[in-house]
Amino acid sequence: MYEDLKNEVIFWAQKSEKLGLVVPTTGNFSLRDKETGYIFVTPHGVFREFLNPDDIVVLDINGNKVEGKNKPSYETPIHLKIYKNREDIFGIAHTHSPYAACFAVLKKGIPLIHIETFFSVGGDIPVVDFALPGSEELAKKSLKKLSNRSAVLLESHGVLTIGSSLSNAVLIAILVEESAKIYHKALQVGEPKNLSEEQVRALEKILKKSSSE
């Protein structure tokens, strides 16, 4: 059952690997079905290039398995925590893209120096303090940081993005990596300048206008 949704998870997980956001068996991806509320998540430890619909794990919002022969991703608790507390979120991507991961291991957030970061993330990209992978502590800390952002860095770990769909979450992960790359390169030649409050307010007006049209 749910072949289309399972194939959607597979497509974006494989696409993310092809784009260099993750390497084999690392990171994880999920979506929430708007009709059933079920969570479709990538399995633990399976090479993405060999994924088929039977490999995708289907869970209810409490983490009970509905379908699937594999164990769900080790990071599933963080996905469930977000879905339980954010009714507007229907896709989550956890990646280890190299430029963003550089700042994650430095525990250095990515400041708001580029307008695309504002439109994709909502502001700067903060760092979630270290907590063990798959732990309730990491889930709570991440949820708090995501209250007004669509992406965070996980200290010594990687990137977590949320979106209105899985495709949206993956797009945000791509843009986070681009922002990290720009910041990294800018640091090599000078001190990047943060967008001013006035500039941010102007961008907020643009965003508000576009969302109302």
SS3 of 107, please? coil
Nearest to 56 by CA among 81, 77, 79, 31: 31
Task: Quote the CA–CA distance of 154 and 138 in Å, as a whole number.
Answer: 9
The DSSP code for 72 is: B
Task: Quote the CA–CA distance of 31 and 40 in Å, as a whole number.
Answer: 5
Question: Do 12 and 93 touch, CB atoms closer than 8 A?
Answer: yes
Question: Do 181 and 202 touch, CB atoms closer than 8 A?
Answer: no
Task: Quote the CA–CA distance of 14 and 108 in Å, as a whole number.
Answer: 28
- Count the alpha carbons within 13 Å of 125 in the hemisphere toward its beta carbon: 37
- Count the alpha carbons within 13 Å of 135 in the hemisphere toward its beta carbon: 9
Residue 75 designated active-site: yes
Nearest to 163 by CA among 86, 64, 54: 86
Q: Pick the catalytic residue from 8, 17, 75, 177.
A: 75
SS3 of 82, please? helix
- Name 110's bridge partners: 125
Catalytic residue positions?
75
